[in-house]
Amino acid sequence: RMSAHGSREPPHLPALPLIGSLLSLQSELQPHVLFKELQVKYGQTYSLMMGSHSVIVVNHHVHAKEVLLKKGKTFAGRPRTVTTDILTKDGKDIAFGDYSATWKFHRKIVHAALCMFGEGSASIEKTICAEAQSLCSVLSEAADVGLALDLSPELTRAVTNVICSLCFNSSYCRGDSEFENMLQYSQGIVDTVAKDSLVDIFPWLQIFPNADLRLLKHCVSIRDKLLQKKFDEHKVNYSDHVQRDLIDALLRAKRSAENNNTSEISAESVGLSDDHILMTVGDIFGAGVETTTTVLKWAITYLIHHPEVQRRIQDELDRTVGDSRSPKLTDRGSLPYLEATIRELLRIRPVAPLLIPHVALCDTSLGDFTVRKGTRVIINLWALHHDEKEWKNPERFDPGRFLNSEGTGLTIPSPSYLPFGAGLRVCLGHDLPSLEGKFGVVLQPAKYKVNATIRPDWARHKCQAE
């Protein structure tokens, strides 16, 4: 037994020079399933070589939380790969960009802009309700004539319009050519980016003709033209007094950096170049559309398989919302079964089953294992969410596991549940306030908003008192 902390190497898959562990990774199984299976032979945390890169795979929640939370800053890096470099102009975005002052700054601006949409006249809720209404009328028209419908483009358009209003203050009608164009390039990007294609393992393969890479470059160039067009339109109409959307928020930050600074510190040097702004908008647009649409598609698929869950959700809606109005965001607290169903969907089919790879920014350790600077870390969320020791029958779809024994309140029954990740790289769509604190004469927590709800007990007392 070794005594020093972090002095052992993790168990290692066989590796050959140049190709690394590729032979051991040849399998019919999808990567997240294969990584879960490999635990049987190598244990919960093991390492392998992807070409010349050392990679650690984490399949258990204790090590996952050490990476994301306890040593969050140490593991906050991102790898550079051929495909993400093409997508993000060499990492000038948030999701695939490495840990840096620019990355932090962009997260902060986006976070503030997203908070703004939670409230007031620009509230995103209005757009969501309008899109839901329009989706319902498409469905009922189809139902009237007994027509079967592929829901995918309908869901994508509804979600795209919500995200469009958030990013660009615009929306699309059915059949709009710019929208159809967007659907196509987005699919091309999703099909080719970051799927551990061979060029990402062996960057020298780039010099050979490669169909995937050509498709990716083509799709990215169409996307970039569209983003540029929206950006140019915003520059023309920009005013310091109104903030219509995310682009305005980024433009305002750029203007204020330009005005506050003397010539030696430019907007470029704080990371507010046009390219950085375009890539951040591209991220939020891509993340907003792809993730939300995917969850909705899984929701429909699981509800078709489980009509009893569908009925229970409808029943809950009928009882709490009724049939005279549409559901509102404030109803969310009184719809525990619906909430439990969403949690179960995000457990059983996590949107990002391997998150996005993290990178160790310095020499460190993970449990008892040493980890060298530059090591890539893959958190296998799929393994966490399907861990038999944590979840009874993990492949069974059962929203009830997120309800308390009376079925009236919500719980999270296992610590092995991280649908949005955690820590510094936590999903930007779903953030908890930071615990880092801001140094000054007193150490202050960051500013954030809370929603207060009156405890049922307290409400009863108040009634009695009156």
Q: Residue 345 touches which of ligand HEM, ligand PLO, none (CB < 5 to 8 A by kind)?
A: none
Beta carbon nearer to ligand HEM, 369 or 420:
420
Token pair listed for 432: 């908890």
Please state the closest distance from residue 182 (CB atom) to ligand HEM, in A: 17
- By the rule CB under 6 A, 66 interacts with ligand PLO: no
- By the rule CB under 6 A, 58 interacts with ligand PLO: no
**Alpha helices in 334-449, H assignment, sequence order:** 336-348, 381-385
Reported for 85-92, long-range contacts at CB under 8 A and 24+ positions apart, including other chains, are 86/193, 86/213, 86/216, 86/217, 86/220, 87/189, 87/193, 87/216, 87/220, 87/282, 88/279, 88/282, 88/283, 89/275, 89/278, 89/279, 92/273, 92/275, 92/276, 92/279
Please state the closest distance from residue 190 (CB atom) to ligand PLO, in A: 5
- By the rule CB under 6 A, 424 interacts with ligand PLO: no
Residue type, 227: L
Other beta carbons within 10 Å of 172: 15
Binders of ligand HEM among residues 429 to 458 (CB under 6 A) are 429
User: CA dist 51 to 22, 25, 55, 198, 427, Å?
Assistant: 8, 12, 10, 9, 29
Residue count at the site for ligand HEM (CB under 6 A)? 22
Please state the closest distance from residue 351 (CB atom) to ligand PLO, in A: 6
- By the rule CB under 6 A, 131 interacts with ligand PLO: no
- By the rule CB under 6 A, 291 interacts with ligand PLO: yes
- By the rule CB under 6 A, 287 interacts with ligand PLO: yes
Whole-angstrom distance, CA of residue 356 vs CA of residue 25 = 19
- By the rule CB under 6 A, 223 interacts with ligand PLO: yes
Q: Residue 223 touches which of ligand HEM, ligand PLO, none (CB < 5 to 8 A by kind)?
A: ligand PLO
Q: Which of 203, 194, 187 lies closest to 84 in space, CA to CA?
A: 194
- By the rule CB under 6 A, 58 interacts with ligand HEM: no
Whole-angstrom distance, CA of residue 168 vs CA of residue 175 = 19
Q: Residue 186 touches which of ligand PLO, ligand HEM, none (CB < 5 to 8 A by kind)?
A: ligand PLO
Per the CB < 8 A criterion, the answer to whether 220 and 87 are in contact is: yes
Q: Rounded to 5, what percent of the chain is helix, strand, coil?
A: 50, 5, 40
Q: Which of 95, 114, 249, 418 binds ligand PLO (CB under 6 A)?
A: 95
Q: Which of 38, 55, 94, 199 binds ligand HEM (CB under 6 A)?
A: 94
Q: Site residues (CB under 6 A) for ligand HEM?
A: 94-95, 107, 283-284, 287-288, 291-292, 295, 346, 351-352, 355-356, 419-421, 425, 427-429
Q: Site residues (CB under 6 A) for ligand PLO?
A: 95, 186, 189-190, 193, 223, 282-283, 286-287, 290-291, 351-352, 356
